[in-house]
Amino acid sequence: MLPLLELQQVEKTFGGICALSDISFTVNKNEIIGLIGPNGAGKTTIFNLVTGAYNISSGLILLNGKPINKKRPDQIVNLGVARTFQNIRLFKKLTVLNNVKASLYHKAKYNIFDALLKTGNYKKLEKDIDEEARILLKQMELDEYVEIQADNLAYGLQRKLEITRALGLSPELLLLDEPAAGMNPKEVINIIDLIKKVHSEYRLTIIIIEHHMKVITSLCSNVIVLNFGKKIAEGPAEEIHKNSKVIEAYLGNSTQKKKTEIAYANN
């Protein structure tokens, strides 16, 4: 079966600095893959390359067997790739409902005249978008917050809203950048359950960057480990932390060691 996403010997340099080198891996349809590694390992750079935010320096990125590395971010969204960000990016002054509606407008098929004249077509589409946004918010257990301004939501809820907005783009591939960052243990359990739910309901393929090992071990069938821009290991979640290269990568950095210890303690 054709993988949904394939990276072939991808390299990314910034000026003289090599952020990623010789990165190859495949992600099959409906899989949940973990992308882990110490700070600065190159995880977010991979998301930026797959979504077209950065151009690759060399190599190839294939989506459903077709190269996407020359495409613009909006074209890649239309091909079915959506993401969330490590630093949450919401329309902070809009309500929760309007944040989700904003992501649903990309598929709305009305023109400026429909909007100005408020035609029947416009009104129907507006109603459909409103309904779809509310359904998504209910699924993500955010329905009680629809009228709240986004920046008044607690941090964990803002992260959930970001995922809801990404789902509004109807992705086939969802890239989650630290979805559990800043969450308390109860919220972490909740986000794991919600990711499981949307994964099966929307038949998604997901790549997760996360420092919380509980998230990785609970959700991911396969884990890719990066260190200093190189892939140092790949394997099942329950085995990867026993890999000597992975242990060395994490223990070689005392800050990260602390972070990893905390993550395991939260398990």
CA angle, 202 as apex, 199 and 203 as ends, to 5°? Answer: 65
Which listed residue (4, 23, 45, 219) binds ligand ATP by CB under 6 A?
45
- Token duo for residue 178: 């630290």
Pairing of strands 17-27, 222-227: unpaired
In the complex, minimum distance from the CB of residue 143 to ligand ATP, in angstroms, rounded to a whole number? 31
Residue 156 lies near ligand ATP (rule: CB under 6 A): no
In the complex, minimum distance from the CB of residue 12 to ligand ATP, in angstroms, rounded to a whole number? 8
Q: What SS3 state is found at 21?
A: strand
Region of 35-43, 57-65, 97-105, 129-137 interacting with ligand ATP (CB under 6 A): 35-43
Burial status of residue 266 (CB atoms within 10 A of its CB: 0-12, 13-18, 19 or more):
middle
Which listed residue (34, 37, 52, 156) binds ligand ATP by CB under 6 A?
37
Cβ distance 176 to 206 under 8 Å? Answer: yes
Which listed residue (41, 150, 224, 249) binds ligand ATP by CB under 6 A?
41
Number of residues that bind ligand ATP (CB under 6 A): 12
Helices 155-167 & 96-104 angle (0-180, nearest 10) = 20
Residue 179 lies near ligand ATP (rule: CB under 6 A): no
Of 85 and 202, which CB lies nearer to ligand ATP in the complex structure?
85
Which listed residue (19, 153, 208, 215) binds ligand ATP by CB under 6 A?
19
Distances in whole angstroms, Cα of residue 39 to Cα of each of 43, 257, 259: 9, 11, 10
Q: Which residues bind ligand ATP (CB under 6 A)?
A: 14, 17, 19, 37, 39-45, 86
